[in-house]
């Protein structure tokens, strides 16, 4: 499907397939620039949950994650107890992997530490943003990680974040528009805000 039109005759990135949920996510969200710290924190956490799974799995549970994690408010999450983590790890509406739930709490604490030293996720994630970077010609031209995502992962790990490897951080960069990996033939317009 890499060079074909979707059922609605719109050219999209091949990973979308024919799934309406993925199509909506691709067309309205993926690659759109996000600078809001809480939304960036949410995306970082959800990308961590996605590791080893399909993005569709996370996307179908996103509303439940938002409810379970108080809208991904880092200040609230940082105060969660071990019991709070265990309850979320047992929740059938969420992905039930204890280590990933514990990582959300640890990442909230690390985020507060970053913020308290004057740092921001926005500054780190968009450190190498280049609005003139050419879009990839084909899906095969898209990397799974880059030197920028490796550097981001290293910086975040040094600041106490977990589940933030180079591949996961590249997925975050793609999702929040720090890189534009919509292939050239894709008709989706990416905001240049």
129 is catalytic: no
Tokens standing for residue 5: 């039109």
139 is catalytic: no
Provide the residue count of the chain: 193
Catalytic pick from 30, 55, 80, 170? Answer: 55
Q: What is the pLDDT of residues 170-185, one digit of tens each?
A: 999 999 999 999 999 9
Distance (Å, whole) CA 106 – CA 79: 10
User: Is residue 147 within 8 Å of 23, Cβ to Cβ?
Assistant: no
Q: Quick one: pLDDT at residue 4?
A: 44
**Residue 70 zone, left/alpha/beta (φ > 0; ψ -120 to 50; rest):** left
Distances (CA, A) of 138 to 13, 23, 28, 48: 9, 18, 21, 26
Distance (Å, whole) CA 158 – CA 99: 19
pLDDT tens digits in sequence order for the chain, 193 residues long:
344 445 577 889 999 988 999 999 999 999 999 999 999 999 999 999 999 999 999 999 999 999 999 999 999 999 999 999 999 999 999 999 999 999 999 999 999 999 999 999 999 999 999 988 999 999 999 999 999 999 999 999 999 999 999 999 999 999 999 999 999 999 886 654 4
Average pLDDT, the chain: 93
30 is catalytic: no
How is the chain split among helix, strand and coil, in percent rounded to 5? 55, 0, 45
Q: Quick one: pLDDT at residue 5?
A: 47
DSSP assignment string, 103-115: HHHHHHHHHHHHH
Q: Which of 79, 82, 49, 75 is nearest to 64 (CA)?
A: 49
Q: Structure pTM?
A: 0.92
Q: Quick one: pLDDT at residue 3?
A: 41
What ranges in 29-164 are assigned the alpha helix state H? 37-50, 55-68, 74-77, 82-89, 98-116, 121-125, 147-158
Catalytic pick from 25, 37, 129, 139? Answer: 25
Q: Quick one: pLDDT at residue 91?
A: 98
Q: Quick one: pLDDT at residue 189?
A: 66
Distances (CA, A) of 15 to 114, 130, 187: 34, 24, 14
Catalytic pick from 30, 42, 47, 111? Answer: 47
Domain architecture of the chain: domains with CATH: 33-175 (1.10.340.30)
Distances (CA, A) of 158 to 49, 67, 180: 20, 29, 27
Q: Quick one: pLDDT at residue 9?
A: 75
């Amino acid at each position: 499907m890499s060079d074909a039109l979707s059922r609605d005759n719109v050219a999209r990135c091949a990973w979308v397939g024919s799934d309406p949920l993925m199509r909506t996510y691709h067309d309205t969200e993926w690659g759109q620039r996000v600078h809001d710290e809480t939304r960036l924190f949410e995306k970082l956490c959800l990308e961590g949950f996605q590791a080893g799974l399909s993005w569709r799995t996370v996307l179908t549970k996103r509303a439940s994650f938002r409810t379970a994690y108080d809208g991904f408010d880092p200040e609230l999450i940082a105060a969660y107890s071990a019991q709070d983590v265990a309850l979320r790890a047992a929740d059938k509406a969420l992905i039930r992997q204890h280590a990933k739930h514990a990582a959300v709490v640890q990442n909230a604490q690390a985020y507060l530490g970053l913020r308290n030293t004057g740092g921001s996720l926005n500054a780190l994630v968009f450190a190498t943003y280049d609005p003139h970077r050419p879009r990839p010609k084909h899906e095969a031209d898209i990397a799974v990680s880059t030197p920028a995502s490796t550097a981001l992962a290293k910086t975040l790990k040094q600041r106490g974040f977990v589940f933030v490897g180079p591949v996961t951080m590249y997925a975050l960069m793609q999702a929040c528009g720090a890189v534009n990996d919509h292939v050239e033939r894709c008709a989706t317009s990416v905001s240049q805000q």
